[in-house]
Structure 1
Amino acid sequence: MNARPPHGSARPGGRTARTRVAVLTAAYEALGAESFSALTLDKLAERSGVHVSTIRRRWRTVEGVVVDLLAERSSTLPTPDSGDFRRDLHELAQAIGDFTDALRNRNVIQGLLAAAAHDPRVEEIVRAAFVGRTEQVTRIVRHAIDRGELPADTDAKDVIAALGAPFYYRVLILRGSIDARLVRTSAEAAYHAARAGVFGAGPDGE
């Protein structure tokens, strides 16, 4: 789920980079102890040691900080490429499960989606983040097609969406935790459906 921060940009070094690290670290630590709704720019300033006016000038809002945090955290998720489609799906499912089960990451996702319901700007940024991450990992599917493991007309985005959906349903709708069974069944369901041609173009996609 990669996305550019909504306001400002980070240079690789210097005070700007140090400021970004300090504020994002403070936000990540805060979200491990309290909900998104409790987070304020003043709290971030106190935790990070960065003046609130600097935070407001760069990110404008708490949502701006947390979108940047989501982009930074999700960029560390691996994209498996072992040469075996089934194994890759299981590894990706485990990575998604680990990410969504962490309290801080869950608070980030839940808070941003709540904010997106009331702010079109946040909605657009969140959508771009999820679309960007999906695009990144579709190479798992494309490589499987190239190897002849999947039908040539398989829709790679649909496969990844089917893999990830159960995790977000568990976290956002059921408010439950991620377990090994969910990781396994999500990967296996996506694998067998893809192999069976469920995600092909079909009559409606021709």
Structure 2
Amino acid sequence: MELGSSGPARPVGRGRKAQAAVRAATLAELLDRGYAELTVEGVAQRAGVHKTTVYRRWKDRASLVVDALAEHFATDIPTPDTGAVETDLRALARALAHSMTGPVGRAVQTAMYSDAGRLPEIAEARRRVFADRFRRAEPVITRAIERGELPAGTDPVELLKTLAAPIYFRLLVSADPIEEGTADQAVRITLAAARAGALTQDSAVAVKATEADAGQA
């Protein structure tokens, strides 16, 4: 996705063209200013629309950022359908690694995992962006179960979390470089766990129950 320039754009009218301009301007503002200094007025000026055009579709800054990020990741990390779960997951993992190490991905990390990430609206934005990504990728797991490549009852969300975990660990914790092999290793780990039955819905429920018990101890 091409981001807007640093100055105000020409007027773009309404409809889909205006929505695309607003989303692009939101990402550009996020890159240039960070979430804390991002304003609806600044986005509108950059997109070449009146701020009422923005508020007509997005109720506040948080919903604007969530929508722009969800749309960006839907384009940047498309849902593959290669006919085999291993190549599907490899495509997903590689696209995630590529996206999160690009300019928008780095801006997302700054916005969602820095001090601003403690804001309730950012926590909600993070939850909604991840929920959208899981929803879009869920057919990959459903098709794999139908083909007999994964056990019946495999939990799509738990599998996708397992796939993303090694990549996010390097991004946010260890600061190790993200390479193509990082994504491929994530696929091998995820498939081994899934085929061993560790990522079924029953397993996910058991883990959550254990976590709840630990929290009460």
Scaled to the shorter chain, the TM-score interval is 0.7 to 0.9
Residue 196 of structure 1 aligns with which residue? 196
For residues 125 and 36 of structure 1, the distance between their equivalents in structure 2, rounded to whole angstroms, comes to 11
Gaps of 5+ in 1: 1-13
**Residues 1-206 of structure 1: matches in 2 within 5 Å?**
15-52=14-51, 54-55=53-54, 58-59=57-58, 61-76=60-75, 77-112=77-112, 115=116, 117-119=118-120, 121-174=121-174, 177-200=177-200, 201-202=202-203, 204=206
Structure 2 residue matching 1:172: 3-state secondary structure? helix
Secondary structure, aligned partner of 2:124 = helix
Question: Aligned equivalents of 2:96 and 2:193: distance in 1?
Answer: 19
> In 1, Cα distance between the equivalents of 2:106 and 2:163?
18
Q: For the residues of structure 2 that align with 1:74 and 1:128, how far apart are their CA atoms?
A: 12
* SS in structure 2 of the partner of residue 144 of structure 1: helix
Q: C-alpha distance in 2, partners of 1:171/1:103?
A: 13
The residue identity in structure 2 corresponding to 1:117 is: R
TM-score of the superposed pair, with normalisation by structure 1: 0.76
- Residues 198 and 186 of structure 1, relative CA distance in 2, 3 Å threshold: same
State the alpha-carbon separation in 2 of the partners of residues 57 and 87 from structure 1. 41
AA in 2 matched with 1:39 = L
Paired residues in the alignment total: 192
Determine the C-alpha separation between the residues in 1 that align with 2:157 and 2:57. Answer: 33
Query: Given that residues 27 and 104 in structure 2 are in contact (C-alpha distance below 8 angstroms), is that contact kept between their aligned partners in structure 1?
Result: yes
What is the CA distance between 1:42 and its match in structure 2?
A: 4.3
Aligned partner of 1:8 in structure 2 is none
Q: Identity of aligned pairs, percent?
A: 33
Question: What CA distance in whole angstroms lies between the structure 2 residues aligned with 1:128 and 1:26?
Answer: 20
Deviates more, 1:182-191 or 1:135-144: 135-144
RMSD: 3.0
Unaligned runs of 5+ in 2: 1-12, 208-217
Normalising to structure 2: TM-score of the pair?
0.72
Of stretches 147-156 and 69-78 in structure 1, the one that deviates more from structure 2 is 147-156
In structure 2, the CA distance between the partners of 1:87 and 1:18, relative to structure 1 (3 Å rule), is closer
